[in-house]
Amino acid sequence: MLQVERVSKSYPTPAGPLTILDDVSLTLERGQAAAIMGPSGSGKSTLLYIVGALEPPSSGRVTLDGRDPWTMAEPEQAAFRNQRVGFVFQDHLLLPQLTALENVLTPSIASAEGVTDAVRARARSLLEEVGLGGRLHHRPAELSGGERQRVAIARALVASPALLLCDEPTGNLDRTSAAGVADVLFAMHGRGDTILIVVTHTPALAERFERRYELDAATLRPVTP
């Protein structure tokens, strides 16, 4: 279970504190998925970074399966983030010098177990599942935008995370490629018990979620279908 409990975030400015998030709460069970919408600058990405243990809240608490990463020592927190949380960003952030398979394996390099035969087999299987079984040894420059984002999805899932966070995963793609990436994302999510949260400006993508939220004026509100 993911529990976001009364989270607020503000930043100091010469004019006084700038509040980005104000008393935000959200609960999602394993296997559930939610879309978060809202205008640019409303704090959607900030909320995602807090949920994913990339940035601390000013107040409130986030727990994943009962564990609060901000109570952990830094090495334990890094391991928690690496193994329990997967990220997919608008820009795929693939390493250009590595092949698709090598990019998918990068989270495992930083893990305690390293790149085992089992992890390598899972990476290959994930790339096959996202339709890139014939592109294992292609570098990002040799892949289309949609293909690069599929590699990013496989990379985010290689550690079998409890939480998958996607920040505008189709924002840089044309309509056809975006629909294909969305199909892959939902198909992969449907095969496990990962919690999925997607931040998006795209109504067509948001409408595919049963749970939708609007973040505006620093407040998160559920959207009634």
Confidence of residue 115 (pLDDT cuts 50, 70, 90): confident
Confidence of residue 225 (pLDDT cuts 50, 70, 90): low
The dihedrals phi and psi of 73, each to the nearest 5 degrees, come to: -65, 155
pLDDT exceeds cutoff 90 at 36: yes
What the block records as the tokens of 106 is 């990068």
User: Going by C-beta distance under 8 Å and a sequence separation of 6 or more, which residues neighbour residue 14?
Assistant: none
pLDDT exceeds cutoff 90 at 112: no
Residue 126 counted as domain residue: no
> Tens of pLDDT along 175-220?
899 899 899 999 988 888 899 999 998 888 999 998 999 999 899 9
Residue 100 counted as domain residue: no
Domain count, the chain: 1
Residue 202 counted as domain residue: yes
| Structural domain that includes position 89 | 2-95+162-222
CATH number at residue 69: 3.40.50.300
Percent of the chain with pLDDT over 70: 99
pLDDT exceeds cutoff 80 at 55: yes
Mean pLDDT, the chain, rounded, equals: 92
Contact 201, 168 (CB under 8 A): yes
The single-letter DSSP state of residue 157 is H
Residue 16 counted as domain residue: yes
